[in-house]
Amino acid sequence: MWPMGWEALEQWGDEAGRIEPLAGGHNDVWSVSVNGQLAVGRLGDRSDADLAWETRLLQYLDGAGLAVPQPIPTADGRLFADGLVVMTHVDGGPPETEADWRRVADTLRRLHRLTRGWPQRPGWRSSTDLLSVETGTKIDLGAMPPDGVARCRAAWARLLGRDRCVVHGDPNPRNVRLTEDRVAMIDWDEAHVDVPDLDLVLPHNAAGLDDAAHDIAAQASAAWEAAVCWDDEYAVGRLAEVRPV
């Protein structure tokens, strides 16, 4: 008997099965076996349009030479089914040294160059969009205290006028897989179109931002994470990092 929702895995073949749970934020993420191949399944509540955007992006980035997980089609060729996406497993370890993080920064900047002009993820808003609207996917500024909203918007206003592109959205060590010859980014669930600064607040200032640019990026990033996670303990802590207006 399949757990609720995971019966969709049957659409990847009779022998497809779950192996063990993995960390996956608000999603249900498992290592799975598909056609004898180790893979990763992610079950969530994203719409078909949202998942179509993500899987198309991953296919494009793979074709452009970026190391990313690839969607594994169902038996009848679909890239997702009933909220479930199955992707290739990516080997490697997390970044540890300053040199490792510089490689990550280079990879993120390549992502940003490759995706200028990319359409916005359905239902999402960028940080600068949120200067004039209150909601977008998981963000609801109406749920935050007015002072917090004012502080977040002041941080995002400093990004106005900058080019936008796809940002990974969560380039923490758990979402990076390094080997000697490549840097792979996994878990694209938070990817959307925004200002690239949000991806570049990295350990050791690996992106090489000057003091002013780093301050702008760090404030905007803290404001974004406060808004997207509100109102758990982590979000409250991130909001505390955003300067009062």
Model confidence over 151-199: pLDDT tens digits? 999 999 999 999 999 999 999 999 999 999 999 999 999 999 999 999 9
pLDDT at 208 over 60: yes
37 - beta bridge partners? Answer: 34
* pLDDT for position 211: 97
Range name among 23-27, 82-86, 156-160 with the lowest pLDDT average = 23-27
CB-CB contact of 175 with 90 (8 Å): no
Q: Where in the chain is the domain with CATH 3.30.200.20?
A: 6-88
CB-CB contact of 26 with 44 (8 Å): yes
CATH class of the domain comprising 98-240: alpha beta
Percent of the chain with pLDDT over 70: 97
Cβ neighbours around 149 below 10 Å, total? 19
* pLDDT for position 156: 98
Between 137 and 33, where is the model more confident?
33
- What band does 23 get if pLDDT is binned at 50, 70 and 90? confident
Q: Where in the chain is the domain with CATH 3.90.1200.10?
A: 98-240
Q: What is the chain's mean pLDDT, rounded?
A: 95
Q: Which of 44, 36, 38, 50 is nearest to 6 (CA)?
A: 44
CATH class of the domain comprising 6-88: alpha beta
- What band does 245 get if pLDDT is binned at 50, 70 and 90? confident
Burial pattern 34-56, b for ≥16 Cβ within 10 A else e, equals beeeebbbbbbebeeebbebbbe
